[in-house]
Structure 1
Amino acid sequence: MPDMLDRAMGALVGGALGDALGMPTQLLSPARIAELHGHVEDFIAPFADHPVSKGLLAGTITDDTEQALLLGRILVESGERFDHARWVNALLDWEREVKARGSYDLLGPSTKRAIDAINNGVPAEEAGRGGDTNGAAMRIAPVGIMMPLEPLDTFVAKVAETCRATHNTSIAIASAAAVAAAVSRGVAGGDWRAASDSAVAAARRGATLGHWVTGGDIAARIVWAQDLVRGKVTRDAIRLITDLVGTGVASQESVPAAFAVLEVADGDPWQAAVISANLGGDTDTIGAIAAGMAGACTGFSRLPQQHVARLKGIDMVDVRVLAADLVAARVARAGSGKDAAA
């Protein structure tokens, strides 16, 4: 239990590090990042007219971390069966809260479309049928903490259940399944290479669920992206990820990119965050995913505590309580011998 809790905390707080480091560089090109900030290696404030992050302090988390923590709490409160209505209402309440704080519309395109559809009377089971971007993958880590990886069908079914209202497509479920599987393998004691292997297997299974949409196969692209950068120096790897893998919000770009980052960083959470912050594009989400997976494989105790202490917008006491609740649910599920997703 103590090691499992440490790795659960590593996943959540590692994700926050990647999110916060990528916050000021999101939506910028690599050239613009270099022009404004040089090579980003520490928390920095965004430039004054940043289209999304302006006004935020260095080290501030964004929607990636906030939605992951929100999903984690809904998972704990839902018990055996995921409460779609509670989840959708929680997202709506969260969006109103961040707008009240002076932030911007932070719901991603797939989530926003789905919630608009639900508000117009579309059942939650149908609202997410067009959601193919990375919103599900960016916040899925709590499922990986809560769910044992085996049996794999049960694991992926739980991932798909949490995706249904906003990202009920083959490509989004495959992406979320890959990230959740990497986290789950890490929480169970696996290293980042084992986590990558588990991710590929889960992505293959996830691709068979949800509404089929066109796009590159996530499992194949994860393997390809990691092979592409293996053995490359960081500067060359960043160029390959940016030019060939892609760093946009599309699942088939940002999720394989995060696994490529994990490869280049050799599983180090802080290095994963640094590499992601310099990619350009959806840097905060790629960083949250990559550093979160790495954190699950190393544990909170091996995160750079000097940087953890400077995170803003996150309550570590609340995170530890959530991590403990998710681990307790995992242990209870494993002990009960359940063989079907609730």
Structure 2
Amino acid sequence: MDRAADRLDRALGALMGVAIGDALGMPAQTFPRDRITAIYGRITDFVAPCPDHPVSHGLGAGMVTDDTEQTLLLADLLIRDGGTLDHRAWANALIGWERDVRARGLRDLLGPSSKRALESLLSGVPATETGRQGTTNGAAMRIAPVAIATPADDVAALCASVARACLVTHNTREAIAAAAAVAMVISQGIDGADFETGLPGALAAARLGATHGAAVGEGDMAGRIEQALHLARTGNEASLAGTIGTSVASRDSVACAFGVVRLAGADPWQTAVIAANIGDDTDTIGAIACAMAGACAGLAGFPAEKRKQVMETNHLDLAPVARGLLDLRDGRGKGGAG
């Protein structure tokens, strides 16, 4: 496989990872580990959520949630606008997305940080102020398009791109540092790095990312990720979940996602399986972890039949998205040199 084909395969692996991790974790989201086991046994394939699930009610086996839909929404805006991100357009896109979700009779709506920030923006609060309390994982869950579109060789530039994407909803050191670490793994993966090789860069991005945004939330996201990685080397799923946590807070779920990838030996499908059973925010942990694993392994890391099921069930066409984001990476997007 030549370099261009390999980069496309890895970009597709990242986007497919978001979708597969999201869909496999969807039935278990919000449930503690013991309840997941009681209801589903061990999740090893796409299954429908239990009847009257508090969030996933109305979805079927293999269907994606807000994680994938918002990721692709951000990707479309980036491609359309040549890599820039108009904050009001992004806010309106997210609000329109939630309106559509409600119209479909679904319950997986905007997260607390995004909802609060968007309401503030539309009421007249400047975009530089609206996200200054957002510490949840919404920024990291949808950061893959920024990572694919941004080279990894300049950590400052990558962190600045991440911070711009976080500004409206998650403009805090915790959220930006977490999203920057995830983005650095994915971006390095696009250029051929494996997960373990990409970790020093990810930790550097987390440290630099923490200098952006409001000084709110976790001040040492890099330390949290290192702790999760250590637990993954010395412990198991239960110790990782119990010590790090699996809540919507970036300090918990994003750090946990790094540990999940290491627990799986960076195998993308096994990453999805572990994430689906880890507890609480399983779909988002899965989306984040599998985006990293998929970028570092490419599409072949996910079984062909699972890719086919998710693509067909959700009517996804990821190749044009991946190509458009890689054009931005190479300066060939709207207004670029090419």
TM-score of the aligned structures, taking structure 1 as reference length: 0.94
Q: How does 1:43-82 map to 2 (within 5 A)?
A: 43-82=46-85
Give the letter for the 2:28 counterpart.
T
Report the secondary structure of 1:73's partner residue. helix
Deviation track 1:19-39 (CA, whole Å, cap 9, x = no partner) reads 000000000011111111111
TM-score of the aligned structures, taking structure 2 as reference length: 0.95
- 1:253 aligns to 2:252 (yes or no): yes
Deviation track 1:57-94 (CA, whole Å, cap 9, x = no partner) reads 10100000110111111111222532111111110111
RMSD of Structure 2 on Structure 1 (CA): 1.7
Please point out which of 204, 212, 215 is paired with 1:201.
204
Distance apart, 1:329 and its partner CA: 1.2
Q: Is the 8 A contact 2:132 2:216 kept in 1?
A: no
| 1:152 alignment partner in structure 2 | 155
Report the secondary structure of 1:230's partner residue. helix
Q: Is the 8 A contact 1:216 1:252 kept in 2?
A: no
| 2:329 alignment partner in structure 1 | 330
Runs of 4+ deviating beyond 6 Å: none
* Alignment gaps of 5+ in structure 2: none
| 1:315 alignment partner in structure 2 | 315
After superposing the two structures, state which structure 1 stretch, 302-311 or 276-285, moved more: 302-311
Distance apart, 1:316 and its partner CA: 3.5
Please point out which of 11, 14, 26 is paired with 1:11.
14
Q: Distance in 2 between matches of 1:309 and 1:156?
A: 34
Deviation track 1:1-27 (CA, whole Å, cap 9, x = no partner) reads 111110000000011111000000000
Deviation track 1:115-153 (CA, whole Å, cap 9, x = no partner) reads 111121111111111111000000000111000012111
Report the secondary structure of 1:294's partner residue. helix
Q: Is the 8 A contact 2:131 2:170 kept in 1?
A: yes
Q: Is the 8 A contact 1:196 1:259 kept in 2?
A: no
| 2:237 alignment partner in structure 1 | 238
* Alignment gaps of 5+ in structure 1: none
Q: Is the 8 A contact 1:72 1:322 kept in 2?
A: yes
Deviation track 1:192-216 (CA, whole Å, cap 9, x = no partner) reads 1122222111000000000001325
| 2:279 alignment partner in structure 1 | 280
Q: Is the 8 A contact 1:18 1:288 kept in 2?
A: yes
Q: How does 1:27-106 map to 2 (within 5 A)?
A: 27-106=30-109
Using a 3 Å threshold, how does the CA distance of structure 1 residues 295 and 185 change in structure 2: closer, same or farther? Answer: same
Q: Is the 8 A contact 1:246 1:253 kept in 2?
A: yes
Deviation track 1:157-212 (CA, whole Å, cap 9, x = no partner) reads 01000100000001100011011111001011000112222211100000000000
Q: Distance in 1 between matches of 2:280 and 2:218?
A: 19
Deviation track 1:279-335 (CA, whole Å, cap 9, x = no partner) reads 110000000000110000011133211111111653342x1101000011112279x
